[in-house]
Amino acid sequence: MLYLTNIGLEVHAQLQTASKIFCSCSTAFGAPPNTQVCEVCLGYPGALPVLNRTAVELAARAALVLGCTVHPVSLFARKHYFYPDLPKGYQITQHAQPLATDGTVTLTSPQGGRQIRVARVHMEEDAGKSLHDEGPFTGIDFNRSGVPLIEIVTAPDIDSAEAAAACFSRIRDLLVAVGVTDGNMEQGSLRCDANVSVRLSRDAPLGVKTETKNINSFRYVQRALQFEIDRQVDLLSSGRPVEQETRLWDSAAGRTVSMRGKEEAHDYRYLPEPDLQPLHVSAALLDGLRRTMPELPDETRARLIAAYGLPPYDAGVLTQSHALTRYFEAVASSSGNPKAASNWIMVEVLGRLNAAGDDITMIRVTPEALASLIRLVDSGTITGPTAKQLFERLFVEGGSPEAIVAAEGLGRVGDDVAIAALVQETLAANAKPVEQYRAGKKQTFGFLVGQVMKASGGKADPEKVAMHLRRALE
C-alpha cells in the first residue's frame, strides 16, 4: 500500500547577539566550560531576567522574513522539565501567545513552487550542555545556558524527506541572509527536529507522529527522515502500531532509535513567567526592520540576472552566500567581464575551494587579482592555459597576476620566428603522428597543436601555432 507522508519541522536558530537573552554574559562559542555564566543563567533563586532588546529585534526580523504576523503583545512562559543542564527546572519560552504566527516558506523546484505554512515563531533560552566524555563523570557546561534562540514551527505540510531537507535549507538561507543567525550546525547555532507521520489517504486523519531529534548535520536531514518514514511504513504494513515517541538520529548507525515516550504539552506544566513583562513590539520597530531588511536570496538572484546578464544557473550558484555574491560583484565590476567572472568563480574558484574544504571567505585570490587575471586574458596578454596556471599559483600564494607575468615572462608568445621554431622542434620529436597526418589521419592535427602549446609552456598564441603548423605540414 502506498502511504502519504506528513512532516513538520521545528527549527531552533541561535540569534546573533553578543550577550545572552536574559543576562549580559557573552554568547561567544568555544570558551572554556562555565566561564560565561552568572546568577541569572545558572538559575540562582531570586536572580531576575532582563530581556535582550537585540534578541527581540532579530527574532522579529526572522518572523518578517518568514512572512509571519508579528503580534504587538506576546508572553513568556515557563516550560517545566527536569534535566541536569537546566538549572532552574524550567525553560523560559513562549507558549500560548508567541511572538509571531502564520507565515510561509516557499520551496521552488523544477515542478514549480510549493508553500509550507509556518505555524509560529517564538523566542526562548537555550539550555546548558552535558559533556559525557569526562572520564567516569558527566560534566555540565552552562556557557550555552540562556543563549537566545528562536524556534520556528512549520505545519505538517511537507510530504517527503527530500522536501523537508529543502525546507530546512530554505529557512537557513533566509535567516542567514537577513543576519538573524550564522546558521552554523557544527557549533549548534542551527538545529532541526522533525515530526513525522504517515497515513493512507489525504482524507484520513494524520497518523501517529514521532519526533526525530539530534539531526546535527545538513546532510543527515534527508537520510534521517527517510529512515523514519520507511520505519513507520514497515510497522503499519505489518499490522503493528507506530508509538508516539521521541527518537534520536544515530548518524553512525544510520538509523533513528527510541529515546523516550513523547510528552504531551500538559506534562510541561506551562505557567506564565512572572519575572518578565509582556513583550510589546511596536509598529515603529517593525517598520524600521522592514526598511532595513537586507536583500533576500531570490532578490539577489534576480538582480544578478538583470544587472550582469547572467544565466539563471550562474545566478543561483553565485547567491549561495552573501560573501560569494560580494566576491562575484567585485570581480565582475573590476574586470568589466561579468560572464568571465562567473565562469572563473563557478569552475576554478569553487572547484579549488570545495576540494580544500574551504569557503570563499578563506580564499587568497583577492577579487582584484582575479579581475586583473581576466583582463590579462581579454587583452590578449596571456593565453587561457597560462591564466589557469597563474590562477593555481595565486590560489596557493596570493599575489598580483601582473607582477608574476612581468617577473616570469609569462606573456603570450606571438612572435612568428619563435613559434615557427617550436613547430619545427615538435615535428622532429613526433615523427609518427606527422606521418599519420600526411597519410590522411587529420585528427592528429589537434594532438600536434597540443604538443606545440605544451612546448611553449602554454604561452604560445594558439591561432599562430595552428597557422605555422599547417604551413609546415603541407
Nearer to Zn ion, 146 or 207 (CB): 146
- Mask of contacts with Mn ion, 105-144, x by CB under 5 A? ----------------------------------------
Nearer to Zn ion, 146 or 183 (CB): 146
Nearer to Zn ion, 38 or 418 (CB): 38
Nearer to Mn ion, 25 or 149 (CB): 149
Sign of CA dihedral 462, 467, 472, 474: positive
Judged by CB under 5 A, the stretch of 2-10, 41-49, 178-186, 288-296 that binds Zn ion is 41-49
CB 456 within 8 A of CB 413: yes
- For residue 41, the partner it binds in Mn ion, Zn ion, none, with Cβ less than 5 to 8 A by kind, is Zn ion
What is d(CA 119, CA 152) in angstroms, rounded to the nearest whole number?
8
What is d(CA 319, CA 329) in angstroms, rounded to the nearest whole number?
11
Scan residues 140-159 and list those touching Mn ion (CB under 5 A): 151
Q: How many of the chain's residues bind Mn ion (CB under 5 A)?
A: 1
Scan residues 21-80 and list those touching Mn ion (CB under 5 A): none
Angle at which helices 367-378 and 384-397 pack, to 10 degrees? Answer: 170
CB of 33 to Zn ion, least distance (A): 14
Let me know if 452 is exposed, middle or buried by CB neighbors in 10 A (0-12, 13-18, 19+).
Answer: buried
CB of 158 to Mn ion, least distance (A): 19
CB of 363 to Mn ion, least distance (A): 37
Nearer to Mn ion, 77 or 422 (CB): 77
The residue to which cell 500500500 is assigned: 1
CB atoms within 10 A of CB 389: 16
| CA proximity to 278, closest of 47, 80, 12, 98 | 98
* Helix spans in 136-209 (H): 161-177
Nearer to Mn ion, 61 or 122 (CB): 122
Q: Is 23 in the site for Zn ion (CB under 5 A)?
A: yes
CB of 329 to Mn ion, least distance (A): 38
- For residue 151, the partner it binds in Mn ion, Zn ion, none, with Cβ less than 5 to 8 A by kind, is Mn ion
Judged by CB under 5 A, the stretch of 15-23, 160-168, 189-197, 369-377 that binds Zn ion is 15-23
CB of 124 to Mn ion, least distance (A): 5
What is d(CA 412, CA 415) in angstroms, rounded to the nearest whole number?
9
Rg (CA), the chain: 30
Could you give the 3-state DSSP secondary structure of residue 301? helix
What is d(CA 147, CA 110) in angstroms, rounded to the nearest whole number?
39
What is d(CA 334, CA 341) in angstroms, rounded to the nearest whole number?
10
Nearer to Mn ion, 151 or 157 (CB): 151
Could you give the 3-state DSSP secondary structure of residue 321? coil
The residue to which cell 520505519 is assigned: 231
Judged by CB under 5 A, the stretch of 22-30, 115-123, 185-193, 370-378 that binds Zn ion is 22-30
Q: How many of the chain's residues bind Zn ion (CB under 5 A)?
A: 5
Scan residues 268-327 and list those touching Mn ion (CB under 5 A): none
Nearer to Mn ion, 180 or 422 (CB): 180
What is d(CA 150, CA 401) in angstroms, rounded to the nearest whole number?
46
- For residue 126, the partner it binds in Zn ion, Mn ion, none, with Cβ less than 5 to 8 A by kind, is none
CB of 40 to Zn ion, least distance (A): 5
Which of 7, 11, 21, 41 is the binder for Zn ion (CB under 5 A)?
Answer: 41
CB of 153 to Mn ion, least distance (A): 9
- For residue 25, the partner it binds in Zn ion, Mn ion, none, with Cβ less than 5 to 8 A by kind, is Zn ion
Whole-angstrom CA distances from 2 to 160, 178, 320 are 13, 40, 36
Angle at which helices 161-177 and 297-308 pack, to 10 degrees? Answer: 80
The binding site for Mn ion (CB under 5 A) comprises 151
The binding site for Zn ion (CB under 5 A) comprises 23, 25, 38, 40-41
